[in-house]
Amino acid sequence: MTTVRRTRRWRGVVAVALFACAIGLLVQDATVLLLGAVGAGYAAYPWLSSPPSVELAVERSVEPTDPAAGDEVSVTVRVRNVGSETLSDVRLVDGVPPMLTVCSGTPRHAAVLRPGGTTEFTYAVRAEHGRHQFDPTTVLARDVTGATEVETTVHAETAVACAASVPEVPLRRQTRHGTGTVPTDEGGSGTEFHQTREYRTGDPLSRIDWKRRAKTGELTTVEFREERLASVVLCLDARAPAYRAAGDEEPNAVACGREGLSQLLTALADTRNPVGLAAVGRESCWLPPGSGDDHLARARRRVGSHPAFSTLPPSPETDWETDGQLRQLRRRLSPGTQVVLFSPLADEAMTAFALELEGAGTAVTVVVPDVTTTATRGGQLAAIERTERIRRLRSAGVRVVDWSPSDPLGPELLRAQEGLA
Amino acid sequence: MTRTHVAQPTRAGSVLALLAAVGVVAAATDFGSVAGLTDGAESLGLALGVELVGVALLVAAAAVRRRGYRVVAGLLLVAGVAGVVGGVVAVAAGAGTLPARVVVATSVAGVGVLGAGVAPLRSNRARGLVTAGAAVLTVAVVLGGVLTDAGAFSLLVAMVAAVVAWDAGERAVSLGEQVGVRARTWPVEVTRTAATALFGALVVGATFAVREMNVTNVPLVGLLLLLCGVVTVLVALSNY
């Protein structure tokens, strides 16, 4: 996405010319009249240059590559001008992952780049749990007079992966056919004991309870919990109300949700469960459940660059008309698919959506990043509302993971499964 | 946590803008040798020195305030404003003829206002103060042409310096907003300020060339038509 805009910074210089000319005529002084020429010359200055054509390649290297939480990770960004024009004023703002804080240096840089020229800058971020993907680098290039400004983004796939990501995703018992890892309430072959029942002809000999046969003479069959595959759709709430944050310097709930979502994506990719992606907000994003390396790569790319996953808050007056997106999403979910929803539950719509899905027989897990604050009255009220919504969801049978984003997500998920949270 | 993005005018650009502003004062007064300024360069140097010390105090006030010492910052702010005003008063009340003192005092005041703009006190006022400072400098140059006998070349150079001062100051503010003071920005600022100054030199050269043609016997109607044409061209140019 490239935008070209005029800065109009040289507009005022015409006033200098007119002022000098006017005074010169008034006092009939040739020298003063002559001064107007400088203003007139500079009024023509912005017309001499054209908008720069920005062709940049960004390369990012991260050191160390496998940090522990709290470590300083140094990020080196190398930007090369691959175009044929000298860029006299390039301003760069690197897309620091929204959940990470910069602890030394600055992710911003300015440079003059000849064709083929390179510039480099380094800063450090503090690693947090999880896998943090970098956003695209924002480039602002002005021509030599500064009259036009080109804004664009350059993408370079980089991530800071910090150990202690989600080890295992506890999925709900809504499954599809195919042998997998999610225990079900159906008896069959598996590892976890389910029940014993009367012998029916055709049961495998290995599953007959021979000890009981020896004791009582009855023929019974042992059943284990059938383990199946679960098809999961990870859904991010990125509607305008979800861009809440505890403070100006804190990551917003969409950033937290996206971070949790990419952790779950990585963890689920290690199983054979098909995973899909959905987001509602700026645009709707939908990637049907699938598995395999290609599918995972596609999902990662979506999370990294699809506008629906953007963590930049919208301007206050935007209205995205998301009810239609939610309806569409509900239609797309095939029966037997379960949903993991990442939402701060900042308004009623998402709560209603989760309840509706659960009521229609889709198993829903809601991960609620806590972005409320107790510092303000409004914040306290929001916290109360949030607690109330969580309570309502839980009483309807929805599994809710109350997640404070500074903690790792994995243990919280397991705790929610055991019903302790 | 230290904040990584500090939106203040960048240092290199601020220094360039102040240097250009000092250049305006020097050139507008024919480097202190303009008639009517009795002890010439010395009093001018002193006044500029007081002015720049005032600006330095304002910068210090901003730095101290960021570290949380509000009282010290307030005292430094008062001292800085006193310095900026004092520099102007020193010239205005000094020796010399009235026209010369008016020109010098106005230009020194321009330096002070521009300096207050690039001193990171109120970031939302920075751009306005820089423009105001440059405007005062421009007025000083025009006054120099009206009131004193400064040479045409010095005045043209002073005018270009005033535009360069505004250009560098405005860029310092915009780079400060977008990139911040912690990043390395000086190559961009030096390159682009040099480009602006170079273009100014070309304009001065062209103006002198036209002046040397010595066109004198233009009829009045022709002159008026020429002026109308100039205004039309200027309005068209401003529409960028």
B-interface mutation test, from A11, A18, A42, most B Cβ less than 10 A away: A42
Distance from CA of A130 to the nearest CA of B (A): 21
**Residue B98 covered by a domain:** yes
Distances (CA, A) of B119 to B8, B130, B162: 8, 10, 18
Q: Of the candidates B138, B170, B180, which has its C-beta nearest A106's C-beta?
A: B180
Q: Mean pLDDT over all residues of chain B? A: 87
| Residues contacting residue A63 through CB under 8 Å, at least 6 positions apart | A73, A74, A75, A76
Instruction: Report residue B99 as tokens.
Output: 């026209």
Asked if A108 lies within 8 A of B146 by C-beta distance, the reply is: no
Cβ-contact B32, B51 below 8 angstroms: no
Per-residue pLDDT at B75 exceeds 50: yes
Q: Which of residues 143-202 of A touch B (CB under 8 A)?
A: 144-147
Searching chain B, which residue's CA lies closest to the CA of residue A5?
B240
Per-residue pLDDT at A421 exceeds 50: no
Per-residue pLDDT at B134 exceeds 60: yes
Summarised one tens digit per residue, pLDDT across range A20-31 is 999 998 998 888
User: CA-to-CA distance for A186 and A228, rounded, in angstroms?
Assistant: 10
Domain holding B58, by residue range, is: 11-238
Mean pLDDT lowest among A94-103, A334-343, B41-50, B52-61 = B41-50
User: CA-to-CA distance for A103 and A72, rounded, in angstroms?
Assistant: 8
Distances (CA, A) of A93 to A138, A210, A227, B161: 5, 71, 48, 32
- Separation of first and last alpha carbons in chain A: 43
List the domain boundaries for chain A.
3-48, 56-162, 185-229, 231-417
**Residue B3 covered by a domain:** no
User: CA-to-CA distance for B17 and B197, rounded, in angstroms?
Assistant: 12
Name the residue with tokens 């199946």.
A228
What SS3 class is residue A281?
Answer: coil
Distances (CA, A) of B84 to A365, B81, B105: 65, 5, 11
Q: What is the mean pLDDT of residues A221-233?
A: 82
- pLDDT score, position B35: 61
Confidence of residue B214 (pLDDT cuts 50, 70, 90): confident
Reported ipTM: 0.89
Show the CA angle centred on residue A154, arms to residues A148 and A156, nearest 5°.
165
What SS3 class is residue A388?
Answer: helix
Q: Which of residues 81-140 of A touch B (CB under 8 A)?
A: 88-93, 101-112, 121, 123, 140
How large a percentage of chain A has pLDDT more than 90? 31
Cis status of the peptide bond prior to A64, with omega within 30 of 0: yes
Count the domains in chain B: 1
Confidence of residue B32 (pLDDT cuts 50, 70, 90): low
Per-residue pLDDT at B206 exceeds 90: yes
- pLDDT score, position A200: 84
- pLDDT score, position A175: 67
What architecture does CATH give domain A231-417? 3-Layer(aba) Sandwich (3.40)
Cβ-contact A408, A373 below 8 angstroms: no
Cβ-contact B190, B16 below 8 angstroms: yes
Would you tell me which CATH number, out of the four given (3.40.50.2000, 3.20.10.10, 2.60.40.10, 2.140.10.10), belongs to the domain A56-162?
2.60.40.10
Strand partners, B24: none
Per-residue pLDDT at B39 exceeds 70: no
Q: What does A265-279 look like in DSSP terms, one character per residue? A: HHHHHTSS--EEEEE
Summarised one tens digit per residue, pLDDT across range A378-401 is 888 999 999 999 999 999 889 999
Asked if B160 lies within 8 A of A20 by C-beta distance, the reply is: no
**Residue B211 covered by a domain:** yes
**Residue B1 covered by a domain:** no
Searching chain A, which residue's CA lies closest to the CA of residue B164?
A42
Per-residue pLDDT at B176 exceeds 50: yes
Adjacency order of strands within the sheet including A148-154: A3-6, A148-154, A135-142, A87-95, A108-113
Helices vs strands, H then E, count in chain B: 8, 0
Asked if A34 lies within 8 A of B207 by C-beta distance, the reply is: yes
Q: Which of residues 182-221 of B touch A (CB under 8 A)?
A: 182-185, 187-188, 191-192, 195-196, 199-200, 202-204, 206-207, 210-211
- pLDDT score, position B8: 85
- Separation of first and last alpha carbons in chain B: 43
Distance from CA of B90 to the nearest CA of A (A): 27
Instruction: Report residue A201 as tokens.
Output: 């002809």
Q: What is the mean pLDDT of residues A111-140?
A: 90
